[in-house]
Amino acid sequence: MCEPELGMDVDSANTIMKEVDVIIQSAANTAFDDRYDSLLEANVNGPQRLMRFAKRCNNLILFVHISTAFVNGEREGVIPEKPMTMGENRRKNISASFPQLDIANEMNIAFKSITSASADQLDTTIYSKKLGLERARFYGWYDGYQLTKAMGEMIINECKADTPVLIIRPTIIESSYEEPFPGWIQGYKAADPVLISYGKGQLPAFLGDPEIPSDIIPVDMVVNTIIAATAKHGIQHKPELSVYHAASSVLNPLRIYDIF
């Protein structure tokens, strides 16, 4: 998504713009501690480019963006299914004088950090990772991944115009419940390293409050949520932005002591 026409040749791009009616955008950098500039490029610039492309599609009826429930950051209590608005933050306590989140400014800070850091590639990477964590915690998110995914939602909401948009916010996606078969998984991300290390006996202890729920959602339930919500909103043709969370901790909490 970082190239002209999203990396497609002109003929392919033109064909898609004429024929596609639903776009589901799930590409993201999901590393919690990656370089700030890399997270911004994938999770903010990427969705923005795809939305611009979507607005050129003649028959588009719905743009679906896969986000994360963790865009809610430090906020506690009941979380409304409402769009992120440009400039908001997720700090628990905030004064009227607290600065708004400025995405353009964050881009400048991130990319200037590359040139201002040491010429050594390792030093630059460490500095950029630390910067992402600092900026996230300043505005009320726990890491650069959460912050940039929130920015991605803001960008989509800001530039969607009359495009119908659906945002799905899953929690921690793990192996399947039923489909394609129970326990199916691909990749090694999110909670996988912790669970696998514990299962192999390589993680004898895990620090934390045993009563805290670990909000894990099976991948097939997330897919079913996407399909059902797309079917519902794809026929409405309303130029609005709708949000759905896919989570488990309220109806079926899985506490840390249940896992370990």
List of domains in the chain: 4-259 (3.40.50.720)
pLDDT at residue 166 tops 90: yes
**Contact call for residues 98 and 91 (beta carbons, < 8 A):** yes
pLDDT at residue 49 tops 60: yes
* Structure-block tokens of residue 14: 């033109």
Please state whether beta strands 22-25 and 62-66 pair in parallel, antiparallel, or not at all (unpaired).
parallel
**Annotated active-site residue in 36, 127, 139, 145:** 145
| DSSP state at residue 100 | P
130 is known as an active-site residue: no
**Annotated active-site residue in 36, 127, 139, 149:** 149
pLDDT at 77: 83
- Which residues, including other chains, have CB under 8 Å from residue 108's CB and lie 6 or more apart? none
**Contact call for residues 170 and 246 (beta carbons, < 8 A):** yes
Question: Distance between CA atoms of 214 and 192, rounded to whole angstroms?
Answer: 13
pLDDT at 26: 94
Q: What share of the chain is helix, strand, coil (3-state, %, to 5)?
A: 45, 10, 45
pLDDT at 121: 62
- Mean of pLDDT values over 162-187: 93
Question: Distance between CA atoms of 195 and 238, rounded to whole angstroms?
Answer: 42
Q: Which tens digits make up the pLDDT trace of 86-137?
A: 999 998 877 778 899 999 999 999 988 777 655 566 678 888 999 999 999 9
- Which residues, including other chains, have CB under 8 Å from residue 78's CB and lie 6 or more apart? none
Most confident of 7-11, 167-171, 194-198, 205-209: 167-171
145 is known as an active-site residue: yes
Amino acid in position 77: G
Please state whether beta strands 216-218 and 22-25 pair in parallel, antiparallel, or not at all (unpaired).
unpaired
| One-letter-per-residue 3-state SS of 9-52 | CHHHHHHHHHHCCEEEECCCCCCCCCCHHHHHHHHHHHHHHHHH
pLDDT at 124: 83
Q: Which tens digits make up the pLDDT trace of 194-241?
A: 888 888 889 888 788 888 888 999 999 999 999 999 999 999 989 999
Helices (H), 83-143: 103-116, 121-139
Residue identified by tokens 């920015």 is 151
* Structure-block tokens of residue 234: 């794809």
pLDDT at 122: 63
- Residue 259: pLDDT band (50, 70, 90) is confident
Q: Which tens digits make up the pLDDT trace of 71-82?
A: 999 888 888 899
Question: Distance between CA atoms of 143 and 129, rounded to whole angstroms?
Answer: 10
